[in-house]
Amino acid sequence: MNVIDYTIDGKKLCVAGLDRNIYIYDDVDSRLYATLHSKGLRVNGHVNRIFSIKCHPEDSNVLVSAGWDGSIKIYDIRAKNPVASIAGPYVSGDSIDMFDDMIVTGSSRNKNCM
């Protein structure tokens, strides 16, 4: 696994990496709660490795991820798949953050970063 983050309530541990899935573990009993990934239902999941994940600072059901596929995926843990996708950053390190409802990422692209 490449990245890890806790939900704001501290009850769920979110990990992701090479296999393009996000695993949610219940921190109370250390069991796998959910595996988040989608293959074309409404919003495709990641198609390459995930290098950054961030849980929402106020809503323990929302998280975002980014990686080598040039997209940000927004997940709702209850839905168990991505609910939205934003094209853009090519993230190759742990460089995503959220403040209120704003998402900020780094990108390893040096041209056409917008």
Domain assignment of residue 52, yes or no: yes
Domain count, the chain: 1
- pLDDT higher than threshold 60 for residue 114: no
Domain assignment of residue 113, yes or no: no
What pLDDT, on the 0 to 100 scale, is given for residue 41? 59
Domain assignment of residue 70, yes or no: yes
72-94 pLDDT, tens digit per residue, is 999 999 988 888 888 888 888 88
Phi-psi region of 52 (alpha: psi -120 to 50; beta: other; left: phi over 0): beta
What pLDDT, on the 0 to 100 scale, is given for residue 54? 94
What pLDDT, on the 0 to 100 scale, is given for residue 111? 66
24-48 pLDDT, tens digit per residue, is 999 889 899 999 887 665 667 777 7
Domain assignment of residue 28, yes or no: yes
Domain assignment of residue 112, yes or no: no
What pLDDT, on the 0 to 100 scale, is given for residue 113? 56
Domain harbouring 91, CATH code:
2.40.10.480
Place of tokens 């595996």: 35
Whole-Å CA distances, 97 to 4, 14, 34, 51, 70 = 13, 15, 22, 13, 16
- pLDDT higher than threshold 90 for residue 17: no
Domain assignment of residue 25, yes or no: yes
Domain carrying residue 83: 3-105
Q: Mean pLDDT across the chain, nearest whole number?
A: 86
